[in-house]
Structure 1
Amino acid sequence: MSPSFVAVVGPAQEREREEGAAQLLRQLGARVKTLDLWEDAGELFSTEEEVARVVVVETGARPDLGSLVLRSLRKEARLEGVGTLLVIDHQQVARHDPASGFDDFILAPLVPAELYARVRAVEWRKSEFANEEQLKLGDIVIDRAAREVRRDGVPVVLTAREFELLVYLADSRGRVVSRSELLERVWGTGYEGGARTIDIHVTRIRSKLGPTLDLATFRGAGYRLGAPGGSR
């Protein structure tokens, strides 16, 4: 399966090279849109077009520009939550800042098979799905049948109650769930403790799953797990 819709951002001379990301991705069967480094990211969209699944950024011999370009792209709300891949010349890799905000990077000259694999991996990490057995929220997979949680493929140990709380919030994602509802649906009507136990369990879940879990607190109201696709 080829990547579906990929945006490639970079100087024109980089984007349209035969061995550049745009041309290689087209050969791999992806629909590709290109954008100059400092163009408005809104140019990536037409009125009814889907959002790119991954944005590939090529900066040539200036990997230090990557973080600036990424900040500019993030101003476009439709790119929120979209995976990003930075292309770095192999001679410039020592200048790459791992805290630049990209989901992954790949070295140039580009190898088609590796580019394909990296784009697909970024797309997978950012994707979401739900069925009777599993829920996927970005890089977090909740396996209801096995009662397991994995982040980036690595198992995360949750207590039984933490797991049940996470599943209920995930099933309710996109709406604020009150503490009273959580007590009733997760702890049961016979539970005699207070709502403070929910706050403690949420803190533990956040600690174990990290900042990629989009779990927001609404003071005096409850908790909300981010809606599918990152919508609010």
Structure 2
Amino acid sequence: MLVVEDEPAIAELQRRYLAQAGYGVHVEDRGRAGLDAVRRLRPVLVVLDVGLPDLDGVELCRRLREAGDWTPVLFVTARDDEVDRIIGLEIGGDDYLTKPFSPREMVARVKAVLRRAQDAARSDVLVSGSVRLDARARSVTVGGDPVALTLTEFNLLAALMRTRGRVLGRTELLAQAWGQADYGASRTVDVHVAQLRAKLGDACPIETVRGVGYRVPS
């Protein structure tokens, strides 16, 4: 587990609670050092402060995703603005925590993100049109060409493809893709669906059922 946090007291609190939960923890206090640590240590998850002094968390995550690194990221920020949350999710964050936060909530969110990563590795292959999703390999292709998805985008697509023909409301999608039904708001789901449509293009099988939610037709 990698924690990138420039406030020593918060970093120590995160380290202590994650260690108590049974995780090995490495801490960095600068963005560039955090980026190097991800590449060097290959952590299972990064708890990433947005407001880092030399390279902010959003840019750090962007560089990872552009390099094809999809290590799960839990953003931590002092800002409680929907625009900030949306930006973090759009560039590949998997969850979002606003300061001040309960250390127990942080650990719960870390466990939820890791659980979703494990669920994404189930050994089934789902196909809809030219879109093929391999859950074990955590890969998606369109017409044989690979498409890079974040963990959350992958889980959202998998949830819809596993329930083909059925309309899933936003709350149910939150529960299936995030592991909790009360996180964020419907806008969070809409952002990820928009990202999926942008990445999958005309092949995207997701349909909007106005006023209800989304589905992949059977």
Tell me if both proteins adopt one fold, taking TM over 0.5 as the criterion: no
TM-score, normalization: structure 2? Answer: 0.42
Structure having the larger proportion of residues in helix: 2
Q: TM-score, normalised by structure 1?
A: 0.40
